[in-house]
């Protein structure tokens, strides 16, 4: 069972991401800044006002969602919680509910994702031992997930978070994860990182290939 504190305050009406800054959840966790905005939610930096420990908080909107979308949200939370008991998976700490939002409290990795560490910070290029160490940690995380029947399905540098100057990497974002070993879902994940076989199952790409070959 996931740890669930008392209900958190609700913001009335539609709000922009910055409107929640300063909000205190469950009397102890204050949202401080917007870390990122995605299709499925907003990620905030937050701090425990009693201990000053930083966290990341993913706010998943509940307003206007149909039953299927809510089921996907719950699946993401449950699978991430189940997989998070590993040093190379971002820890899911708590779940907080309000009328309009589900707040997922996560371990905070302040150095950003692996993609920015490679392309902007140049942390790994030219440092083969560090790159090897990161790669092995990602493999450990994936093996752990597979050993408990969880398949991430969106493995990419943007979904791997970095800490300790690149010495530690952690798998994040279980939004597309599943427990189905065999599935009819094709085209999951990000196009740039798909295998050739997976790309052939994406209708838009198949159509372009047929047009070019005709």
The residues that are catalytic are: 154
Tell me which residue of 134, 178, 179 sits closest to 160, measured CA to CA: 134
173 is in an annotated binding site: yes
Q: Does 159 belong to an annotated binding site?
A: yes
Nearest Cα neighbor of 139 from 117, 171, 163, 164 is: 171
User: In whole angstroms, what is the distance from residue 106 CA to residue 159 CA?
Assistant: 14
**CB burial string 111-130: b at 16+ within 10 A, e below:** bbbbeebbeeeebbeeeeeb
DSSP three-state, residue 178: strand
Q: Is 58 helix (H, G, I), strand (E, B) or coil?
A: strand
Cα 10-72-32 angle, rounded to 5 deg: 40
Annotated binding site: 58, 158-159, 173
């Amino acid at each position: 069972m996931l740890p669930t504190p008392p209900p958190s305050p609700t913001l009335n009406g539609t709000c922009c991401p910055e409107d929640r800054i300063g909000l205190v959840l469950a009397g102890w966790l204050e949202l401080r800044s917007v870390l990122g905005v995605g299709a499925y939610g907003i990620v905030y930096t937050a701090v425990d006002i009693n201990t000053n420990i930083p966290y990341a908080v993913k706010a998943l909107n509940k307003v206007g969602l149909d039953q299927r979308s809510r089921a996907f949200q719950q699946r993401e939370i449950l699978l991430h919680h189940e997989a998070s008991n590993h040093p190379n998976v971002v820890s899911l700490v708590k779940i907080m509910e309000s009328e309009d939002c589900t707040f997922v409290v996560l371990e905070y990795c302040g150095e950003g994702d692996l993609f920015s560490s490679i392309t902007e910070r140049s942390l790994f290029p030219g440092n083969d031992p560090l790159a090897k160490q990161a790669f092995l940690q990602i493999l450990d995380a994936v093996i752990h997930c597979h050993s408990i029947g969880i398949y991430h399905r969106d493995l990419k540098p943007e979904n791997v978070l970095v800490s300790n100057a690149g010495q530690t990497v952690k798998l994040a974002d279980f939004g597309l994860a599943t427990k189905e070993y065999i599935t009819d879902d094709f085209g999951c994940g990000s196009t740039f990182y798909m295998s050739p076989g997976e790309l052939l199952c994406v209708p838009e790409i198949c159509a372009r290939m047929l047009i070019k070959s005709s």
